[in-house]
Structure 1
Amino acid sequence: MAFSIDKQTLDELNLLGKFRKDSVYHLFNRVRTRGGEQLLDNMFRHPLTNAAEINQRSAVFRFFQESQLEFPFDVQQVSLMREYLDAQGINNAALVFAGTLAKKWLAAITRDERYKKNVQGLQATIITLNRCHAFLAAIPRTNHPYEKRISEISGLLEDKRIGRLSNIDIYKDLPVKTIAYYNHLLKAILRREMEDILSFISELDACIAVSDVARSRHFSYATATDDTRNILSAEDLRHPCIEGAVGNYIALGKNSNVMFLTGANMAGKSTLMKSIGTGLYLAHMGFPVAAVNMLFSVREGMYSSINVSDNIGLGYSHFYAEVVRVKQAAQAAAAGKKLLLMFDELFKGTNVKDAYDGTLAVTEGFADYHDCLFVISTHIVEVGVALQGHPNIRFVYMPTVMEGPYPRYTYRLQEGITEDRQGMMIIRNEGILELLNKHS
């Protein structure tokens, strides 16, 4: 079962984007090899939906973090090994020898570089395999979550044919017969084993990169559960990409599956919602999360409506784009999927009366879907008052502290419904009215 998430949600949470320095992907992109980058990209694009698999991956990352392992390979040598193995392998040993001999002959009388590149590739492969063997020798074979994989690769390296490579002096000219033998062995006979070793190196690269981020940022690992409690709880949850971000306690469950969030503009509602969505997405990847701890029931997908804009191409106004987005989420929930659905300032593209009625009706409707989790924010506090008869709606707000005529935002979640109304005060503080009166 694939985790369901659309482009809008990915963009609103800023999850992907290799070249965007503020993206979540960029935060974890400390890999060094091309294979490591491909693996990282695959994990970001395909979150897990099985609790056991999620917890297993988290345990592996935690093992690397606690072991403080460093990437032992030379990136250039790994790249040369990759190119060497990608060159066409031939199953017939005699033809391999003849081809190798021909390349050496051409290199002697012309500027043909193929023989030189072949030798360099074999040398890089020997160096990489030796470093892999030394790395594995320093890691315990048992009593850790990565022991099966370590044992698999160690078994490959214990093959006597591969073992002989460690005795080759790569700084001496190698006989053509030796080069041809290993070309045939590594590219044809042991091709699958060599690919597995390169895959292992990519795994090491990704695991070390992710665990380094967890250690430097003081992240922890969430615990996934497949039970029916429909739970999401996190202590000190914060946004992973914001240095010094304020953390909050989040608690959603089967009997309180709707979080109704109020607060003034700039109080931190949108950032809190992005923190929840990002944290849950990373948790489904088995990645470290920006929280002291987290427990969650596996979701089948996630949808958000945080930065909805108009669509000129389709002729959608801002309000209609919001309506379409809510309809998409409602269809997904009605299909019986277990989702996290987040809506920031519902129907802000229309008048206050319609926004009030729409927010109230939609929140009441969503509250009946007890298998989903909802986070709904608004600055229309009257909606919260009207919803207080629903036992499964939890009311929280982001407070504003007034220091004289100026607001200060704590970003600390509190229980209840806010009564903060600082809009006109901020307008006055900016001197807008005085500026306009000068020209009246």
Structure 2
Amino acid sequence: MNFKIDKQTIEELNLTGKFRSGSVYAIFNKVKTNGGERLLDHMFSHPLEEVDAINQRSSIFRYFGEAAFSFPFDVQQLNQMREHIDSMSSKNQMLVFARTCIHKILAGLTRDERYRKLVQGLQATILVLHKCHQFIQAMRSDSPFTARVDTIREILSDKRIEKLRQVDIYKSLSIQTLSSYEHLLKGELHGQMEDVLNFIYEVDLFIAVSKVAKDRKFNYAEALPPAKNLMSAIDLRHPAIDNAIGNDLRMDGSSNVLFLTGANMAGKSTLMKSIGIACYLAHMGFPVAAKEYRFSVREGLYSSINVADNIGLGYSHFYAEVVRVKQAAEAAASGKRLLLMFDELFKGTNVKDAYDGTLAITESFADYTDCLFVVSTHIIEVGEALRRKDNIRFVFMPTIMEGSVPRYTYQLREGITEDRQGMLIIRNEGILEMMDA
């Protein structure tokens, strides 16, 4: 089974996108190799669903962070090795020898670069293998990465590779030596060379992500079995906001609905995005922007934060919201354990309908106790009507008035807000006076 997330949720949380401003992917994309970036792409596209797999990956990141490794490989040499072992070669050793001879003759007579690239490719491969051997010697024998290291150690202990590592790259290589190793590395040992390169790409990723965690003071989540139905965070923040204010929260089977109120600009949407991003990163085994994060594994994540109208389908903003809620209801009714988040339900219609719709939908969601829900609204009367539901927890983002100027603390509080500063902000901006002039 795969962790379920749709395109709208990915875009609302700004999870992916190498060049998207403020994307979560861009925060972690500090890798040095193309292979490391491909691995990062894969992890972002395939969150994990198994408790042990998540905790195992987190423990590897944590190990790399504690060891404070620096990436010891030269990227140009890695690219040359990659090109070298991927280039075509014959299974017949005599044909390889003959072709190597021809390339050397052509190099002397013309500007043919193939022989020089052959030599440089082998030299780069020797250097990479040598550095890889040195690197694994420095790794702990009891680390969570030990099984992977042992696989590479076994490859490098092959007598043919050991012999290759001892070749002096600064001395002229004979055609016999060059063709012999080309045949070996591109033929019989091609799979092993691929595994060594993949190992190096993994090392690149683990070093890069663990360094991001250290620099940004992110921490690693603890995955728990799904049946616990828990999500608990201390000092949870939005990872893309510098000096963001953190909040504590807890959701479980007895309080699986978080009902969030607060004035516009009080920070409700940012908090919801922080919750969603942390959930997604935690399922990847990645560090999250929190001091502590414990969660029961979910089967998917679903958000409705920035629903837009759809001119192509003829949808108004309100109808687009209705369609989105219907999709969420179908997902919840499927029996999957999900995290679902809704920001300002039905803001595309009148206040009375928005009140009725928000109340009815939230009450219905509360019955799906295997799912966790976050619902926000600025229609605070809905909260009072929902108090009869025992499994709804009421929290709000406060606004503090300093004279006629609102100040937002972004600190979560228990209860339902009583803030109503909409008209005050309009007056502060001088809109009414401007229109009367």
**TM-score category (smaller protein):** over 0.9
Which residue of 2 is the match for residue 248 of structure 1?
Answer: 247
Q: Name the CA distance, whole Å, in 1 between partners of 2:21 and 2:180.
A: 47
1:342-387 superposed Cα distances (whole Å, 9 cap, x missing partner)? 0000000000000000000100111100110000000000000000
Contact residue 226 and residue 337 of structure 2 kept, 8 A: no
Structure-2-length-normalised TM-score: 0.99
Instruction: State the shift of 1:252 in Å.
Output: 0.4
Instruction: State the shift of 1:21 in Å.
Output: 3.3
Amino acid at match of 2:203: L
Amino acid at match of 2:375: I
Which residue of 1 is the match for residue 394 of structure 2?
Answer: 395
Which residue of 2 is the match for residue 150 of structure 1?
Answer: 149
Structure 1 residue 414 corresponds to structure 2 residue 376:
no
Amino acid at match of 2:44: F
SS of match in other structure, 2:228 = coil
Amino acid at match of 1:271: T
Structure 1 residue 386 corresponds to structure 2 residue 385:
yes
Q: Name the CA distance, whole Å, in 2 between partners of 1:93 and 1:301.
A: 53
Structure-1-length-normalised TM-score: 0.98
Which residue of 2 is the match for residue 10 of structure 1?
Answer: 10
Structure 1 residue 178 corresponds to structure 2 residue 177:
yes
Contact residue 14 and residue 23 of structure 2 kept, 8 A: yes
Structure 1 residue 29 corresponds to structure 2 residue 29:
yes
Q: Name the CA distance, whole Å, in 2 between partners of 1:179 and 1:227.
A: 56
Q: Name the CA distance, whole Å, in 1 between partners of 2:192 and 2:230.
A: 43
Which residue of 2 is the match for residue 321 of structure 1?
Answer: 320
Summarize the alignment of residues 276-291 of structure 1 with structure 2, pairs less than 5 Å apart: 276-291=275-290
Aligned residues: 437
Unaligned 5+ runs, structure 1: none
Instruction: State the shift of 1:103 in Å.
Output: 1.3
Contact residue 100 and residue 175 of structure 2 kept, 8 A: yes
1:72-109 superposed Cα distances (whole Å, 9 cap, x missing partner)? 00000001100001101322211111111111122222
Contact residue 21 and residue 27 of structure 1 kept, 8 A: no
Deviates more, 1:175-184 or 1:221-230: 221-230
Summarize the alignment of residues 121-200 of structure 1 with structure 2, pairs less than 5 Å apart: 121-140=121-140, 142-200=141-199
Instruction: State the shift of 1:151 in Å.
Output: 1.1
Q: Name the CA distance, whole Å, in 1 between partners of 2:166 and 2:436.
A: 88
Instruction: State the shift of 1:224 in Å.
Output: 0.5
Amino acid at match of 2:34: R
Instruction: State the shift of 1:250 in Å.
Output: 1.2
* Percent sequence identity over aligned pairs: 65
Q: Name the CA distance, whole Å, in 1 between partners of 2:118 and 2:49.
A: 43
Q: Name the CA distance, whole Å, in 1 between partners of 2:21 and 2:362.
A: 35
Contact residue 226 and residue 298 of structure 2 kept, 8 A: no
Which residue of 2 is the match for residue 433 of structure 1?
Answer: 432
Q: Name the CA distance, whole Å, in 2 between partners of 1:357 and 1:371.
A: 24
SS of match in other structure, 2:227 = coil
Q: Name the CA distance, whole Å, in 1 between partners of 2:129 and 2:39.
A: 21
Instruction: State the shift of 1:227 in Å.
Output: 4.1
Instruction: State the shift of 1:166 in Å.
Output: 2.2
Summarize the alignment of residues 9-408 of structure 1 with structure 2, pairs less than 5 Å apart: 9-140=9-140, 142-408=141-407
Q: Name the CA distance, whole Å, in 2 between partners of 1:228 and 1:159.
A: 47
1:216-270 superposed Cα distances (whole Å, 9 cap, x missing partner)? 0111100001141211000000001111000001100001000000000000000
SS of match in other structure, 2:27 = helix
SS of match in other structure, 1:340 = strand
Contact residue 400 and residue 408 of structure 1 kept, 8 A: yes
Deviates more, 1:131-140 or 1:213-222: 131-140
Q: Name the CA distance, whole Å, in 1 between partners of 2:179 and 2:75.
A: 25
Q: Name the CA distance, whole Å, in 2 between partners of 1:86 and 1:155.
A: 22
SS of match in other structure, 2:56 = helix
Q: Name the CA distance, whole Å, in 1 between partners of 2:264 and 2:374.
A: 17
Amino acid at match of 1:291: A
Unaligned 5+ runs, structure 2: none
1:168-209 superposed Cα distances (whole Å, 9 cap, x missing partner)? 121222100000010011110101100000000000000000
SS of match in other structure, 1:228 = helix
Amino acid at match of 1:36: G
Deviates more, 1:155-164 or 1:261-270: 155-164
Q: CA RMSD in A?
A: 0.8
Contact residue 13 and residue 277 of structure 1 kept, 8 A: yes
1:394-424 superposed Cα distances (whole Å, 9 cap, x missing partner)? 0000000010100000000000000000000
SS of match in other structure, 1:47 = coil
Q: Name the CA distance, whole Å, in 2 between partners of 1:90 and 1:5.
A: 45
SS of match in other structure, 2:249 = strand
Instruction: State the shift of 1:392 in Å.
Output: 0.4
Contact residue 284 and residue 298 of structure 1 kept, 8 A: yes
Q: Name the CA distance, whole Å, in 1 between partners of 2:130 and 2:216.
A: 33
Amino acid at match of 1:272: L
Amino acid at match of 2:123: Q
Deviates more, 1:99-108 or 1:178-187: 99-108
Contact residue 220 and residue 292 of structure 1 kept, 8 A: yes
Contact residue 47 and residue 283 of structure 2 kept, 8 A: yes
Q: Name the CA distance, whole Å, in 2 between partners of 1:167 and 1:376.
A: 64
